[in-house]
Structure 1
């Protein structure tokens, strides 16, 4: 197998083996202004992180709904991910975090992965310039154990290891991000073993909303976005268009050639009330991304300049209808979802392969709500049918890796939510998956929240999950380098967490959570030194994940939002070795300040990424090495010049940190960006 193919595989283009289990990948270069803070700042800043304040998003809060950071008037916060039906945050016992539209706009970064660094329990690994593989791991789990939903649509790539490459997800048009940490397979199936990230797109609040922006800056970057929204008494429609292009920097630390990226994203959403009891909706998102990536030298493992290109297209769509009967006490949802992706790879302008996958999903869900003697009951039943198609084409029509595969799965879900005297809330869920290719799976989850006082609540969550082998792990074939293993078993895991939520008025929320998890039948890659051929196998023993998280949210004044977090994740393989690309310590702190009678918005954000392990491919066999800790800081300013015209300015990597998320891959240094936007 050529190293360019290995790089492409690790970058999520193909995936003959897990990215974090010994496969090389792709990254970029630096500029130089400010240097990384001295080591003594680490301990001081961690303390500041936990004392300074909390996020503009809040984890489910016991006695108050979400507040607007400007005036702190309570707003109803409905969460759509922690259970199969929407619930307020103070009735859910699972560990939840929310990034709202105000925070996303204050951060003002084009790519979602930078915003996700503001959440505890997540490890974000970007393997190069914009467009290189960007993986997100929840509480030390694998990247393909993170399920990503967009308005309910599964975004995980059916081709790329059943995981989403966050490099191709822009923030334009997003209204909120919800994160559920911990095994959630009982609700959402295979990919939710580590947790769920839900992206909710924007709908207009006013009868008419329009906005435009144009921005440019370092690394030859151009960014433009447009939003149009219309709302009536019975309908709401929104259309978002985004264009992002950068010349980038070299993924090779020693190469002068830039590795660029371009992304065009179109997103539309429509909701309508056909009658007093029936609502219908449509969601569609199209992504067209082009990126350049480098090779790795087979003998040294070092990244070297190469003329490699990747073309990625994706369509995500949903049509749904909701029927509400008996004054809302009995609801029905019918939906059909489509995820269709295709990746084409080129080396020196020559076509080297195409990988395409399709997931079609049909869902019926019904929920009954009733009360008996101050006890609220909510019973939900779900029936799902999924169909997968997987297609590989090599450089020639008769290439040995050419193949087509398919799978289908039927799932039945039951969930019971109980509220007792508005103090104790319990939730139980069970799921059965009937899969054509794998052993059938039964998963479950129990969670609860006990409101001890108006300021104090206890939370608990326990459950199990599974993750099916990917198509490449079972059927992938690269002549002379990798062969699939059709006998692989699904990975199985279980875990629990327990937490404390402290709410002091409407202006301070503190959340503390401890967690433990194990993973069995973990899929890893073995290498036959006699044939130089790799194969995926189920690893014996148990992998473990232990740790805790602290989140703080504060609104010290009507125009201030402060947030901070610290997370410790100790993830180990069965032999006791630390899992790669999972820092044990992570922390962050940020502040958002509205000033000048809402004329300006300033945001400052700092994150700390502790030391972590990765593989050194310059040795044979590859050995684990330690990557240094690093700080990342950013600052953004939005200022209204006149009428609807705003000035935007942003600095990324403010300390000009020289860091690596993946060994051997270059990362960008400090960058400045500025532009104009108009909001009507």
Structure 2
């Protein structure tokens, strides 16, 4: 793996060195590049044009223009991300990046991890409304040196709004008794209270036992230099076919409390302290028709805190370092009562050599259950033209097995308590082009090598599924992405090719071989005469070993003073498809509504 990574970095550096020699060094390391400040690709906030890793951004403006009906729909706009739902509007969502498994994607809200230690199927339970989102940042590739476990395929960080805004409301209705409502407000002069939101989505379902009710509420507060956010999500949904041929029912809840305190120190140094508490509940009834059937009930609790110190050592050197500690508890009648904890230490150096930016970083995570994991990485960024940046990165990442993978047992499954963490190296290199205004275009090539990958396997259908560290996985691919706006026209386009190769098994596999070699996405919005606006979003997937499908969503809207009326139709072509094998997704689905500001 180290030789592959070295080849990628050296080849990219060779192409960039010629341009560096021909162009006088500018006063700033990244002139005329993207100046939007981002927080996911480095340990300290920097402009997007200075990041050496593969980074993509979707903004609130993008979400407002396009036919996006849920937070999970918003994630589909990110390049290399495959959002696979078992139910519409985010009832249950698996998120994959660059062909990695859903458990190898780390999901954050304002930098706080929401990955659930019980199972990665709950990582899409996001207690935020569309109205809360300021932007979504995607860090593709190994992210464990910055963010710890599970960041093998990449990291998705949902950044919530902080600026004051007028009250807004949204109301929509559609087929299958769909009703959606949301309100949000961030007042400018309310002292401690900084804002709140609430939303609800409900439907009788497009098929039997596919009904759902999703409810969310959030409140933000500020006490001097300390911010506090409290959010809660409650979901009740029909889960027919999710885990077998039965009209199952599932109830999940997610509560997140996060506090952050920031304070300047002497000189150019500052300190940030974080504390968080997250609890997730899951109740699953496989077949309500069975008299006396008992639901599986699980409750996880995660409490943690961290301290981060950063500042300049010199005009060309910046250091960010910190420590974290977390504790996880599971209370479950089927998985048992489980506890584990970890402590972590990390550091990143930002070094400027001429126009070249270097970001070496490393992190150590010590677990009470799994021992320790060392995650180093190196990222580099170099402007080779006034509006072109070359970047490359290489890093190690890991994933710890979930409680379900270690302890779940039923007549068809037998977990393995002795599972080891997965390990992987990723290297990528690419070019980012900033074409002026909001236009950004990127191309990236990547390779990933993993060992001890966990999968549910069995020799044939007569034997129970069992979890094992038996897979060595080799992946490589190519990504292209562009987004921007010119006058009344806004465009977004992405293409991803991914190849995942594994050691062949004499039997069946549940997850590792389920990926999409080709993914195409596109969106367009256009302002028309008479103040009309129209938008479309297209997604094409061709999963490995399955039929391809294409879905198109449309939106037409028109503002009337403070009210904007809209009509949307999802899956206009009425495609019949399954994002997760065996679970049908809805056909054509129309809705109409208004937003008020």
The TM-score normalised by the length of structure 1 is: 0.78
1:132 to 1:168, Cα distance in 2 relative to 1, 3 A? farther
User: In 2, Cα distance between the equivalents of 1:476 and 1:658?
Assistant: 32
Is 1:572 aligned to residue 504 of structure 2? Answer: no
Q: 1:150 is matched with which residue?
A: 109
1:460 to 1:412, Cα distance in 2 relative to 1, 3 A? same
Give 1:160 shift: 1.9
Of residues 412, 415, 435, the one that matches 2:367 is 435
Give 1:150 shift: 0.6
Give 1:596 shift: 5.8
| C-alpha distance after superposition, 1:620-657 (max 9, x if no partner) | xxxxxx2211111111233212x312212211112221
User: In 1, Cα distance between the equivalents of 2:272 and 2:397?
Assistant: 25
Q: Secondary structure at the match of 2:585?
A: coil
* Unaligned stretches of 5+ residues in structure 2: 1-28
Task: Tell me if the contact between 2:107 and 2:115 (Cα under 8 Å) persists in the aligned partners.
Answer: yes
Give 1:500 shift: 1.1
Aligned residues: 561
1:628 to 1:360, Cα distance in 2 relative to 1, 3 A? same
Of residues 275, 289, 297, the one that matches 1:354 is 297
User: In 2, Cα distance between the equivalents of 1:588 and 1:357?
Assistant: 35
Q: 2:215 is matched with which residue?
A: 264
Is 1:470 aligned to residue 402 of structure 2? Answer: yes
Q: 1:560 is matched with which residue?
A: 489
1:501 to 1:484, Cα distance in 2 relative to 1, 3 A? same
Task: Tell me if the contact between 1:124 and 1:137 (Cα under 8 Å) persists in the aligned partners.
Answer: yes
Give 1:534 shift: 3.4
User: In 1, Cα distance between the equivalents of 2:121 and 2:214?
Assistant: 21
Give 1:166 shift: 5.2
Of residues 458, 483, 487, the one that matches 1:527 is 458
User: In 1, Cα distance between the equivalents of 2:359 and 2:191?
Assistant: 33
* Unaligned stretches of 5+ residues in structure 1: 1-60, 67-75, 251-256, 298-302, 394-400, 614-625
Is 1:654 aligned to residue 572 of structure 2? Answer: yes
Q: Secondary structure at the match of 1:591?
A: strand
User: In 1, Cα distance between the equivalents of 2:460 and 2:390?
Assistant: 53
User: In 1, Cα distance between the equivalents of 2:236 and 2:532?
Assistant: 35
Task: Tell me if the contact between 1:627 and 1:660 (Cα under 8 Å) persists in the aligned partners.
Answer: no
User: In 2, Cα distance between the equivalents of 1:494 and 1:162?
Assistant: 24
Task: Tell me if the contact between 1:562 and 1:590 (Cα under 8 Å) persists in the aligned partners.
Answer: yes
Task: Tell me if the contact between 1:154 and 1:339 (Cα under 8 Å) persists in the aligned partners.
Answer: no
Of residues 160, 163, 167, the one that matches 1:204 is 163
User: In 1, Cα distance between the equivalents of 2:125 and 2:284?
Assistant: 18
Task: Tell me if the contact between 1:64 and 1:506 (Cα under 8 Å) persists in the aligned partners.
Answer: no
Q: 2:269 is matched with which residue?
A: 330
Of residues 316, 338, 352, the one that matches 1:419 is 352
| C-alpha distance after superposition, 1:65-104 (max 9, x if no partner) | 65xxxxxxxxx41101111211100111100001100011
Which structure has more relative contact order (CA 8 Å, sep 6+)? It is: 1
Task: Indicate the larger mover: 568-577 or 664-673.
Answer: 568-577
Is 1:314 aligned to residue 257 of structure 2? Answer: no
Q: 1:665 is matched with which residue?
A: 583
Is 1:591 aligned to residue 514 of structure 2? Answer: no
Q: Secondary structure at the match of 2:362?
A: strand
Give 1:404 shift: 0.3
The TM-score normalised by the length of structure 2 is: 0.88
Give 1:105 shift: 1.4
Q: Secondary structure at the match of 2:295?
A: strand
Give 1:560 shift: 2.1
Q: Secondary structure at the match of 2:406?
A: helix
1:566 to 1:131, Cα distance in 2 relative to 1, 3 A? closer
Give 1:519 shift: 0.8
Of residues 428, 440, 452, the one that matches 1:497 is 428
Is 1:84 aligned to residue 43 of structure 2? Answer: yes
Give 1:397-416 correspondences, 5 Å limit: 401=334, 403-416=336-349
Task: Tell me if the contact between 2:477 and 2:499 (Cα under 8 Å) persists in the aligned partners.
Answer: yes
1:131 to 1:87, Cα distance in 2 relative to 1, 3 A? closer
User: In 2, Cα distance between the equivalents of 1:169 and 1:325?
Assistant: 33
Q: 1:339 is matched with which residue?
A: 278
Q: 1:290 is matched with which residue?
A: 236
Give 1:379 shift: 0.3
Task: Tell me if the contact between 1:124 and 1:134 (Cα under 8 Å) persists in the aligned partners.
Answer: yes
Q: Secondary structure at the match of 2:249?
A: strand
User: In 1, Cα distance between the equivalents of 2:494 and 2:176?
Assistant: 31
Task: Tell me if the contact between 2:67 and 2:536 (Cα under 8 Å) persists in the aligned partners.
Answer: no
- What is the root-mean-square deviation of aligned Cα atoms in Å? 2.5
| C-alpha distance after superposition, 1:228-286 (max 9, x if no partner) | 11124987712110000011222xxxxxx2410110001122345x3xxxx21011110
1:317 to 1:534, Cα distance in 2 relative to 1, 3 A? same
Q: 1:249 is matched with which residue?
A: 206
Give 1:494-643 correspondences, 5 Å limit: 494-506=425-437, 508-527=439-458, 532-540=463-471, 542-555=472-485, 557-575=486-504, 579-595=512-528, 599-610=531-542, 612-613=543-544, 626-641=545-560, 643=561
Is 1:452 aligned to residue 452 of structure 2? Answer: no
Q: Secondary structure at the match of 2:123?
A: coil
Give 1:143-182 correspondences, 5 Å limit: 143-161=102-120, 164-165=123-124, 170-182=129-141
Q: Secondary structure at the match of 1:441?
A: strand
Q: 1:32 is matched with which residue?
A: none
